[in-house]
Amino acid sequence: MIERAIKIGTRKSKLALWQAEYVKALLEQNGLKGELVLIETKGDKILDRALSKIGSKGVFTEELEDQLRNGDIDIAVHSAKDMQASLGDDFELIAFTEREACHDVFVSHKKGFTVDKDKEFVIGTSSVRRVAMLTKHFPNAKIVDVRGNLQTRIQKMEDGLCDVLMLAYAGVHRMGYNDMIVHEHPLDTFTPATGQGCVAIESATNLDPEVRSAIRKAINNEKTEVCLKAERAFLKELQGGCSIPAFCLATWTADNELKITGGLAQANTEEIRYTYTCSPDEVESKGTQIAKDTLANGGAEILAALKNS
Ligand SMILES: NCc1[nH]cc(CCC(=O)O)c1CC(=O)O
């Protein structure tokens, strides 16, 4: 029995706090105590540059890892999507919460705004994946960069920056903005980024094994964990963080197998995509295979071009 409170490190944005409170509630439902520790990261401070320009690796995680390393916090709570594929040797992801709906949506402050492929309208997003996919599926739309937390982005939209924002349903739902959703994108065309819709728990590898296993038992969803293993193996092989136009989604089939689809999107042209179905113990090798196929068939050139831009 663990008597002391588990120290839960989190960023200060409303979405991050919601996720940390959610994790705290899961701990408490399982007889553990939790306490939030609020930490500011570089990604929260730098709002005037596109994320892809800061070099996104670790911008939302570095300060949290410093405190994990020195034991000021036991765990750090992250959107799984924001986690780079390769952590430092002294860190690991020890649990994944049950994934919620993981598709992308358009939200708008304009009541009754209708999305029409043939119409000109302005979309706000700062994700290279979404930009690339949008140029293909909404060729008449204009895309503008928008940074900041969800509340800031909505304010910028209301101030006239754009007609709609493209966001993950999960974040919109957690923040209570469902009534602003004007369009839901299908998963097969706008396949989400690795880990979208799932909350990941990071710890230092030197965390007390008893504490580690109690946290894992309280929080980890095994079905989601298998999906995340596939998607993160894919991302690792691409050596990517959230600044490349990669997408990957693993889902369970009716026969208890995994369907994994992933690849790279490219602006104004066809994406590169591979899909495999496999058993749960093969997900990492198949996720890696999808990345290898992608790289060998034009993906390496896409990534090289991005590096030089
Ligand atoms: N990159 C920011 C980010 N990281 C996680 C989410 C949403 C929550 C989730 O996917 O779990 C968002 C916002 C968005 O993409 O709209």
Hunting for tokens 């690849």 — which residue is that?
Answer: 263
- Tell me the pLDDT of the chain (309 aa) as tens digits: 889 999 999 999 999 999 999 999 999 999 999 999 999 887 777 766 655 555 556 777 889 999 999 999 999 999 999 898 999 999 999 999 999 999 999 999 999 899 988 889 999 999 999 999 999 999 999 999 998 889 999 999 999 999 999 999 999 999 999 999 999 999 999 999 999 999 999 999 999 999 999 999 999 999 999 999 999 999 999 986 667 999 999 999 999 999 999 999 998 889 999 999 999 999 999 999 999 999 999 999 999 888 877
List the domains of the chain with CATH numbers.
1-97+198-220 (3.40.190.10), 104-184 (3.40.190.10), 222-309 (3.30.160.40)
> CA-CA distance, 199 to 95, in Å (whole number)?
8
> CA-CA distance, 163 to 142, in Å (whole number)?
10
DSSP 31-94: T-EEEEEE---HHHH--SS-HHHH--TTTTTHHHHHHHHTTS-SEEEEEGGGS-SS--TTEEEE
pTM of the model: 0.94
Residue of 79, 82, 97 with the most ligand 1 atoms within 8 Å of its CB, for mutation: 79
- Nearest atom of ligand 1 to the alpha carbon of 166: 16
First to last CA, the chain: 54
How far apart are the CA of 81 and the centre of ligand 1, in A? 7
Residue of 13, 15, 149 with the most ligand 1 atoms within 8 Å of its CB, for mutation: 15
- Nearest atom of ligand 1 to the alpha carbon of 100: 11
